[in-house]
Amino acid sequence: ADMAQRLAQRIATQAPQLFSAAVAYGKPRLATFWYYAKVELAPPTPAEIPRAIDSIKGLIRSFQSGRLAQLTVREALRNGLVATEVLMWFYIGEIIGKRGLIGYNV
C-alpha cells in the first residue's frame, strides 16, 4: 500500500512535466498529419475525375489482355493494399452514415 501511495504521489507531481513532454512530442507530428490529411482526404477536383476514369479503363484493358498475370508480387501487394484501403473507407463511411455498426434505423 505504501509503495502504491508513493507511486501515485510521484505520478501526480510529475504529471505536468509528462503532459508538456507529450504535447511537445506530438505537436510536430500532428501538424504533419494535418498537412497530409488535407491533401489526401480532400474530394477529387473536377479535373481529376476524367483521369480517374481513364485509369479505371486502363485497368480493365490490362485485365482483359492478361497483363494482370504479369504483375510482380510487390505490385500485386500494393494494389491489394490500395483496394483494401478503399474498401475500409467505404465501410467507415457506411458506419458513419447509419450511425451504428449494425443495420439502419427504419
pLDDT at position 106 is: 61
- Beta-carbon contacts of 52 under 8 Å, excluding residues fewer than 6 positions away, are 44
**Alpha carbon distance 93, 83 (integer Å):** 15
pLDDT at position 86 is: 92
CA atoms within 13 A of residue 3's CA, in its CB half-sphere: 0
Q: pLDDT per residue over 10-36, tens digit each?
A: 888 888 898 899 899 999 999 999 998
More confident residue, 16 or 99: 16
**Alpha carbon distance 16, 30 (integer Å):** 20
What rounded mean pLDDT belongs to the chain?
88
**Alpha carbon distance 13, 24 (integer Å):** 19
Residue 83 in this model has a pLDDT that exceeds 70? yes
